[in-house]
């Protein structure tokens, strides 16, 4: 029985829908500490070299795309910067202030930044993991997402297990923390309830060496019916739990306010194989850390 009048989270709802909203899971102070820390990180940011090349020949464009792809593929154990489209000129100079141009920062904030590490391994997150019955959860990646006002792009319908594949399925869990109110206007998450029970239709895999691209998609994303999605507005400090196979999306941010979020993914490592074909791989420098400390 829950003590102190606290309600245990309605986990049956999570199993039924494939997602669960826990309002006010983190305090305003915790949210602000993450936002302040990300401002410090951006202030010290170097623009990645592949953003600075001037396009002229096809070959250079390919090298640019390759550089961009390599930068992404080797970001699993680093803190790296990804930008919105059209915010840099050909020389790699910002057309708008850099803190407004950045789309996301990933994928190892949870390992290398003290503020994000503390949040990821906070006692309430660990306690929630135990309530969910996770035996040996490990953190596989994290991202800070900005969803910039007016330009924060849409995220098309997808399943996280497309990118983070495990055998068996059902071992990936996303923790999505609203660092500001997420509304229908500024691009909150939308879900198809119950869509986590049908497996996955598409996988992003590392391409065979010698292929022209570094990753490729196997299978295809079906056409989802828009009317099946429900919006999940959530206030600052709220947590959305996301099953690895639930279908979700977000619209572009048409408002004048940003929609910052910190998100990380956990895998139940007990009896689970992480796919060698996933873009993201543990490294000697950063084996996936245990969620429980």
State pLDDT tens for residues 134-164.
Answer: 999 999 999 999 999 988 899 999 999 999 9
Where are the chain's structural domains? 9-274
Cβ atoms < 10 Å from Cβ of 286? 17
Residue 186 has pLDDT above 70, yes or no: yes
Confidence at residue 211, expressed as pLDDT on a 0 to 100 scale: 76
User: Across all residues in the chain, what is the average pLDDT?
Assistant: 92
Instruction: Please report where in the chains the tokens 């100079």 appear, as a residue.
Output: 93
Instruction: Between 90 and 96, name the one with better pLDDT.
Output: 96
Confidence of residue 8 (pLDDT cuts 50, 70, 90): low
Confidence of residue 207 (pLDDT cuts 50, 70, 90): confident
The CATH class given to the 9-274 domain equals mainly beta
What's phi and psi for 133, nearest 5 deg?
80, 20
Instruction: Tell me whether residue 55 is exposed, middle or buried, using C-beta atoms within 10 angstroms of its C-beta: 0 to 12, 13 to 18, 19 or more.
Output: exposed
Per-residue tokens: 292: 């429980």
The arrangement of strands across the sheet holding 172-178 comes to: 19-22, 239-243, 172-178, 261-268, 137-145, 102-107, 79-83
Model pTM score: 0.94
Q: Identify each DSSP E strand in 153-286 by its residue range.
A: 155-158, 166-167, 172-178, 189-191, 202-206, 215-219, 230-232, 239-243, 248-250, 261-268, 273-274
Confidence at residue 9, expressed as pLDDT on a 0 to 100 scale: 64
- The residues, ordered by sequence, that sit 6+ positions from 43 with a Cβ below 8 Å of its Cβ are none
Confidence of residue 65 (pLDDT cuts 50, 70, 90): confident
Confidence at residue 7, expressed as pLDDT on a 0 to 100 scale: 54
Mean pLDDT (whole number) for 95-115: 94
Cα distances from 163 to residues 28, 70, 216, 217, in angstroms, run 31, 16, 11, 10
């Amino acid at each position: 029985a829950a003590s102190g009048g606290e309600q245990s989270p309605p986990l049956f709802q999570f199993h039924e829908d494939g997602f669960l909203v826990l309002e006010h899971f983190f305090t305003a102070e915790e949210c602000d500490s993450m936002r302040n820390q990300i401002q410090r990180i951006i202030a010290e940011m170097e623009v990645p070299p592949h953003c600075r090349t001037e396009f002229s020949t096809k070959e250079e464009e390919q090298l640019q795309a390759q550089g961009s792809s390599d930068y992404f593929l080797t970001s699993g154990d680093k803190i790296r910067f990804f930008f919105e489209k059209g915010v840099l000129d050909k020389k790699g100079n910002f057309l708008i202030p850099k803190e407004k141009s950045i789309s996301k920062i990933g994928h190892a904030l949870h390992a290398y930044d003290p503020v994000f590490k503390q949040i990821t391994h906070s006692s309430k997150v660990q306690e929630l993991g135990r309530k969910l019955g996770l035996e040996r959860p490990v953190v596989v990646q994290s991202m800070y997402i900005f969803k910039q006002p007016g330009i924060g792009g849409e995220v098309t319908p997808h399943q996280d297990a497309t990118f983070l594949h495990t055998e068996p399925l059902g071992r990936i869990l996303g923790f999505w923390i609203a660092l500001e109110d997420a509304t229908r206007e500024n691009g909150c998450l939308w879900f198809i309830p119950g869509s986590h029970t049908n497996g996955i239709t598409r996988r992003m895999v590392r391409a065979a060496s010698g292929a022209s691209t570094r990753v490729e998609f196997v299978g295809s994303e079906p056409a989802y019916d828009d009317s099946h999605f429900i919006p999940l507005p959530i206030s600052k400090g709220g947590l959305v739990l996301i099953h690895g196979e639930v279908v979700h999306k977000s619209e572009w941010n048409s408002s004048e306010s940003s929609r910052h979020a910190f998100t990380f993914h956990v895998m139940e490592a007990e009896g689970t194989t992480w796919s060698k074909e996933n873009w993201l791989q543990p490294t000697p420098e950063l084996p996936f850390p245990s969620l429980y400390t």
